Amino acid sequence: MQRSAATIAPIIKELDVLEGDLLEAVALVRQTKQVLGSLKFPPSTDPERQSSPFESPLGVYPGEPLVVPPSQEAAALSRARQAVQETKKSLRAQLAEITRWNYFFDISKLVDIGIGSLVQSFQAVTPEMLCAALDVFFTTGERDDLVVLLKAGADLNGRVEPGGETALMKAVCHGSMEAVRMLVGFGAGLDVRKADVTRYSALHLAIYNRKPEIARFLVFRGADVNARVLFVGRPLFGAAYEGPVELVDLILTRGADLHAKNGYAQSALHCAARAEPANGGKEIAELLLDRGAEIDGRDNKGETPLNHTTGLSLHSDDSHTLRDHADVAEVLISRGADVNARREDGEPCLHGAAAYGSIRVVTLLLDRGADLHATDQQGNTALHQLARHPRVKVLDTLRLNGPQILPPEFEATMGMILEKRVEIARLLVSRGIDTNAVNNAGQTARQLAREQLQREDPLRAYLRGVTGDDGHSDTEEEDEDDDELENGEEGEEGGE
């Protein structure tokens, strides 16, 4: 259809109507603000977190405090913002189409001066070019070239190898808030995923790289707080493990599903139980419980969050640390966690804590009523569990979570566990555990230690010296048996 001044008039008239509709929407927002601002409430006497806005030092801008609304209103506001963003995006596209259909200019003079060859030399701004400009910006702080590429229509959501990251992901991992702001301002997609097995979004990367200010900014700009990743789970899981508690609170208020499970059927509370004290695990666990997290929820191994306060934490750099998070365990138990909960394979919580040398949690469990004489499906008491070499349990954990290449500090970890096991054995004996109890194989803990541990192992030596209910020590008898066994082995080797 031929465009003319006559065809423009009805378009402008319709745009006036559209403008009126938008102004009505703005008026509706203002009216809602006025109504809420006029409400009067009696002074609150409830000291709980939900009774008043929660302030955080992590503002979108430096020095700006965070005041978040209650969770229901926050979820509704989040949906409203998403609707507005989608409408703006669609509106911008449609208005651009209208402009394009009606915009003409005479290029004949440009053709006469050879503009065609110059246009053919133009190149699109590729993701690789944009990421290279980011590297220069990170190094020098000069933003001119980066801004030129952004204004020239750079491919903001293209992914660059290796790693399959977008420019925004690169800026997030580098920790450059300025670059993140620029990229988001020019329209970088917040929920684009990495082109690798992780499928992380920019928000996942901000959390796992411990950039809480950037994570907060992305959440406020509308990043999906329920974006799912295979096994690792949603942003809430990472925030519950990495902290800080203010970020967890923000993600929850923006509509994160508190009861979601990751690929291992773990909840955010399981993740908080594993969080290092420096990351605020105790405070995060308290917040999740305040919001209604299931305290004895089970993962795919039948473990509750209380089980996760002990064990082996594996880190992204292939290192690992032993967990003995008695502070989180105290919170869980005080809120009603079952101290006698059993895994799917029948192992009591006390046994798992003892196996990893988590003496603080073992002590807490006993103080809070854990069954000292509980046995697993093989009839082993916690003392039997100590008599088994921890190498098997630790190797099982490593195999379940990654390649079977032992980290360099593996033997040091074994040494730490072995040292703690002697302390735990002394504790169990002092509390009255039956040292003569036999498992389904008819073995006492002392006999199991002789089978599993080296003769010079301190725990084996301790158990060998423990006096049973029959009133005598097995020390001399076991020493003679050990000598006979070792001499017999030497004789067999000599005869081969």
pLDDT in tens, 420-452: 999 999 999 999 999 999 999 999 999 999 998
CA geometry: angle 451, 452, 457, nearest 5 deg: 105
Identify the structural domains of the chain with CATH numbers, from first to last.
9-23+93-103+113-122 (no CATH), 126-224 (1.25.40.20)
Average pLDDT in the chain: 83
> 334: part of which helix (H) or strand (E)?
helix 326-334
Q: What is the pLDDT of residue 323?
A: 93
User: How far apart are the C-alpha atoms of 242 and 204, rounded to whole Å?
Assistant: 11
User: How far apart are the C-alpha atoms of 350 and 361, rounded to whole Å?
Assistant: 8
**Residue 181 near residue 218 (C-beta atoms within 8 A):** no
Mean pLDDT value across residues 153-179: 92
**pLDDT confidence of 56, banded at 50, 70, 90?**
very low
Query: Of 50-54, 155-159, 229-233, which range is least confident?
Result: 50-54
User: How far apart are the C-alpha atoms of 271 and 206, rounded to whole Å?
Assistant: 17
- φ, ψ at 313 (rounded to 5°): -95, 125
Q: What is the CA radius of gyration of the chain?
A: 32
pLDDT digits (tens, 9 = 90+) for 18-49: 999 999 999 999 999 988 888 888 876 554 44
Half-sphere exposure of 128 (CA within 13 A, CB side): 4
Of 143, 147, 149, 145, whose CA–CA distance to 126 is shortest? 149
User: What global pTM score does this model have?
Assistant: 0.74
Query: Of 160-164, 297-301, 343-347, which range is least confident?
Result: 160-164
User: How far apart are the C-alpha atoms of 155 and 133, rounded to whole Å?
Assistant: 13
Q: What is the pLDDT of residue 408?
A: 65
pLDDT digits (tens, 9 = 90+) for 207-237: 999 999 999 999 999 999 999 987 788 999 9
**pLDDT confidence of 110, banded at 50, 70, 90?**
low
Of 315, 245, 234, whose CA–CA distance to 267 is shortest? 234
Q: Which residue has the tokens 């801008």?
A: 61
